[in-house]
Amino acid sequence: MNYFDDIRSFRDEEIPAAMQRIANDAALPAILDYLDFGMDVKQFQKVLCNIKTVKEFQTVIVKSVVERILQRTTDGLSVLGIENLNPETHYMFVSNHRDIVLDAMLMDYALLMHGFPLFNIAFGNNLVFNDFASVFAKSNKMFEMKRGGDKMEFYRNLAHTSDYIRHLLVEKNESVWIAQRNGRTKDGRDATDPAVIKMLGMSRRDDRVASLAELHIVPVSVSYEWESCDILKTKELYISRNQKYEKKPGEDLNSILTGVMQPKGKVTIHFGKVLSEAVFEELKDCPSGVFYKKVAEWMDAQIIGNYALFANNYIAHDLRSGSTNFAEHYTAEQKADFENHLHWMDNCPELDRKVLEDIFLGIYANPIDSLLKLLKPSQG
């Protein structure tokens, strides 16, 4: 057994069998019906059975899936900062996390459209709901991050993941994506967990500066005009104020489907600048905890600074503060559209409307507060 067989994605020689499993899965007809591929199940099964490599699966199937999602649920995808990247170089993409599956898939699609090779995607083993999800993910260069277990098992899993990521980046010269934290941002405040940066360096402990520099870490900002699963996130945050939130069976799947199907408006992906060795060198004498915290702050400066603010963000901020401070950034029609979106709360009479509304508005308003906090030192 290969050292990484327990978490790695499929190799080319495993793709034909994987395509057969997808083709024969009972969920396929319903998925095709939603995506409206323009072909019946038998026609699609024939396409699947002709796919022999990972690249073919990604460029024929996954590309078509993403294009259908963009056509049906968005008002267009904008890509910025592509000039910061070189197609011949591997990168460790670390982005904010707003949608369970779309953040990485849209980013991958954006790179493909600009002539870049597709990257590997880290995903939590809690997202493997069934055989279809597992096979689709592993055919799409997605590798598993094991979670749970006692402290020793947790540590071993982190080290194992770190080894695999470095193997992909340094030995295979392939790019990798990972979220800046465990779990999606629920309240609109993006923040890189220093533990993620520390995990990336676990696979090379002799020189933490060189360890991170050779990964070519790139902070990425993903922004949705209409926040993915905004209503579901609001309800979760509401419950979490008074008790520990316990996920219900099938909740992650519901979040995935909601994120994929709900209207997202405009979507922007902004690739930041590679964190250079000079950045890490500047921090080399810091204690370990301070070192990783400072690197996380460097990440956040780009992720927050490059986050695309839409009219919805400014409207929510003004509604929440009871002001018109940002009125120049939206029209009366846009404000009316946003306020109309608040009517979903009318169906929740058992919940405190003021608290619910404050949480919902915060999801859209908090990115502005994060940016203002980031800019404040330079304005003093």
- Could you give all domains of the chain from N- to C-terminal order, each with its CATH number? 72-308 (3.40.1130), 312-379 (no CATH)
Where is average pLDDT lowest: 92-101, 232-241, 250-259, 335-344? Answer: 250-259
Average pLDDT, the chain: 93
Is a pLDDT exceeding 80 seen at residue 271?
yes
The tokens for 305 are: 């600074």
Position 378 scores a pLDDT of 54
Distance CA 316, CA 21 (A): 46
Is a pLDDT exceeding 60 seen at residue 229?
yes
Please, which pLDDT band fits residue 54 given cuts at 50, 70 and 90?
Answer: very high
Is a pLDDT exceeding 90 seen at residue 376?
no
Local structure of residue 116 (DSSP, 8 states): P
Position 168 scores a pLDDT of 97
Is a pLDDT exceeding 80 seen at residue 35?
no
Distance CA 217, CA 274 (A): 6
Angle of CA points 176, 177, 180, to nearest 5°: 135
Is a pLDDT exceeding 50 seen at residue 4?
yes
Other beta carbons within 10 angstroms of residue 235's beta carbon come to: 18
Asked if 133 contacts 189 with a C-beta cutoff of 8 angstroms, the reply is: no
Is a pLDDT exceeding 90 seen at residue 248?
no
Please, which pLDDT band fits residue 94 given cuts at 50, 70 and 90?
Answer: very high
Percent of the chain residues topping a pLDDT of 90: 83
Please, which pLDDT band fits residue 380 given cuts at 50, 70 and 90?
Answer: very low
Asked if 200 contacts 92 with a C-beta cutoff of 8 angstroms, the reply is: yes
First to last CA, the chain: 58
Position 30 scores a pLDDT of 87
Is a pLDDT exceeding 70 seen at residue 1?
no
Strand 92-95 vs strand 217-224: parallel, antiparallel, or unpaired? parallel
Q: pTM value?
A: 0.94
Strand positions, DSSP E, the chain? 74-80, 92-95, 120-124, 142-145, 176-179, 217-224, 265-271
Where is average pLDDT lowest: 139-143, 244-248, 361-365? Answer: 244-248
